[in-house]
Homo-oligomer: A and B are copies of this chain.
Amino acid sequence: MTTAPFSLARRLRAGETVYSGWSNLASPVVAESIAREGFPAVVIDVQHGLWDVASAFAAIAGINHAGSAPVLRVPLNDFAFVSRALDIGAEGIIAPMINTPTDASAFAAVAKFPPVGERSFGPHRAMALQGRKVPVDYLREANEGTLTFAMIETPTALANVDEIAATPGIDALFIGPYDLSTSLSAGKAQDITAPEVETAIDRIREAADKAGKIPGIFCRDAERAKAMAKRGFRFVTVGNDLGFLRESASAALKVLQG
Are A21 and B52 closer than 8 Å at their CB atoms?
A: no
| B residues near A51, Cβ cutoff 8 Å | 53
Tell me the bound Cα distance from A39 to B37 in angstroms.
25
| B residues near A258, Cβ cutoff 8 Å | 226
Within A94-138, which residues are at the interface with B (CB < 8 Å)? 96-97, 110, 113-116, 118, 120-125, 128-129, 131, 135-136
Chain B CB within 8 A of A36 CB: yes
| B residues near A2, Cβ cutoff 8 Å | 1-2
Given A244-B248, A244-B249, A256-B225: A27 in contact with B27 (beta carbons within 8 A)? yes
Chain B CB within 8 A of A38 CB: yes
The interface stretch among A8-16, A160-168, A186-194, A203-211 is A186-194
| B residues near A29, Cβ cutoff 8 Å | 25-27, 50, 125
Which of B45, B121, B140 is in CB contact (< 8 Å) with A179? B121
Could you say how many copies of this chain the assembly holds? 6
Tell me the bound Cα distance from A21 to B252 in angstroms.
10
Q: Please list 26 pairs of residues, one from A and one from B, whose beta carbons are closer than 8 Å in the complex, sorted by A's number.
A: A1-B2, A24-B124, A25-B29, A26-B54, A27-B27, A33-B128, A33-B246, A34-B245, A34-B249, A38-B249, A48-B120, A48-B121, A50-B88, A52-B53, A54-B55, A64-B65, A76-B80, A78-B80, A114-B183, A114-B185, A116-B187, A121-B190, A136-B189, A143-B187, A226-B256, A241-B245
Q: Name A's B-contacting residues (CB within 8 A).
A: 1-2, 19, 21, 24-27, 29-30, 32-34, 36-39, 45, 47-55, 57-58, 61-62, 64-65, 75-81, 83-84, 87-88, 96-97, 110, 113-116, 118, 120-125, 128-129, 131, 135-136, 139-140, 143, 153-154, 176, 178-179, 182-183, 185-190, 221-223, 225-226, 238-239, 241-253, 255-256, 258
